[in-house]
Structure 1
Amino acid sequence: MKHIDISGIEIDKDSDAYQEVKGLTGGLTAKTMQAQTEVNIKNMQDMQAMNAENLAETMRIQREEAQRGQRLQTESNFMGAHSLDQQTSVLHAAAESMGQMGNVGGGDGMNPAGMMTGMMMGGAMGGQMAGMMNQIGQQVQNGMNTPPPMPNISFFVAVNGQQMGPFNMQQLQQLRQNGQLIAQSLVWKQGMSSWAAANTVPELASLFAPPVTGATPPPMP
């Protein structure tokens, strides 16, 4: 025999040996697929845990910054009230001294020199009191007009099937410019029940608004 065409050889698929080999190879394939699935699930769980830790840290920093701003505002108000108390005490002491000046020179009679001095000091204190009240009123008004710090909103973004983030608005703007964030990209932030397309989230609507073109003025009369 000089030549054998093995393509013409058929395997007896009903034999016990074939069934045994088929069972072994099928079991190995199933185990391989199961192991790969378990690895993918663990990687996903690890990534979700990392993202949850990052989000928790971001929220902690935001809470601390907000509390710090409130403490600074409270301390500023306290310092203003303390300054008012101190100035009031000084003016009260000066008023008592002014009352005593009316009796300069002794005796029970009226002292013109003391009265004139008291009137001059009274006018000076009145001007100082008015200036002090204006200053306190201005400080209170400035405190009322100071807006609270803007909230730092962070979103997670699904990029190429991977969960990325969290990103703040400035970072999301850069992703939008780079083409990594599109209108149909899925996003999520704390408080949302599920992932949603980016262009359906009100906070991100401005990222996908069409550019405003220059208005054409009407013809001149």
Structure 2
Amino acid sequence: MERALLVALNAERAARRAAVVVTDLASGAQRLVREAEAAGDPLAGPIGEALRSGRSATIAAEAGEIFLNVQVPPARIVAIGAVHIAQALGPMAGLAGFDIEIVDPRTAFGTPERFPGLKLSAEWPEDVFARQPLDPYSALVALTHDPKIDDGPIAAGLRAGCFYVGALGSRKTHARRVERLVAAGFGEAEIARIEAPIGLDIAAATPAEIAVAILGSVIRAFRRRGLERAA
């Protein structure tokens, strides 16, 4: 790999942006395709599929065999609210291959005893995001039912282009949330990205079942990301 290409690839990795190294197996020629550029590439279809699956692959092209070496940042879930649902969601997310962080400024809830082995930040979400900003490989899950805690992260998730933004609450609760987001300057298309009520409709009743529904929605959004833009 040429030095310039490696430097460019490492820059994408450091910024948590996905990229694909395209190698012509006959000639050895290589080029870097950043995710933001993939839709306009001659190999847009297979590159897009490789980015969604996160798997490198050899494909057949007109010029011969091409190897797509996929570099995708680890997806993460940021759960706002150290609640019972988050206690169930944490281990499930890990089993599904997601990094997860629980964020809650209410120190009585966000304790290591309630979330053993999980990354836990007992501070305001804005302070957490200042250290590690949200990005398109983050899922934002708002679970506190408290607008003072949830609204800021939801807005941050929309601005950052998180692949999933979901919020706990009834349709009535979400209607009031929408009013606040409109007042904050968000448009209809942006607000429509929020899944509320949160999670797949599986008639979930217990915290663990709601966690399953949320994780299902997160996985679906992650594997389908970019399909709407491609369409």
Q: Tell me which of the two structures has the higher relative contact order, counting C-alpha pairs closer than 8 angstroms and 6 or more residues apart.
A: 2
Structure exhibiting the larger radius of gyration computed from Cα positions: 1
> Is the shorter-chain TM-score for this pair beyond 0.5, marking a shared fold?
no
Where is the helix percentage greater, Structure 1 or Structure 2? Answer: 1
Q: State TM-score, norm by structure 1.
A: 0.24
Where is the strand percentage greater, Structure 1 or Structure 2? Answer: 2
Q: State TM-score, norm by structure 2.
A: 0.24
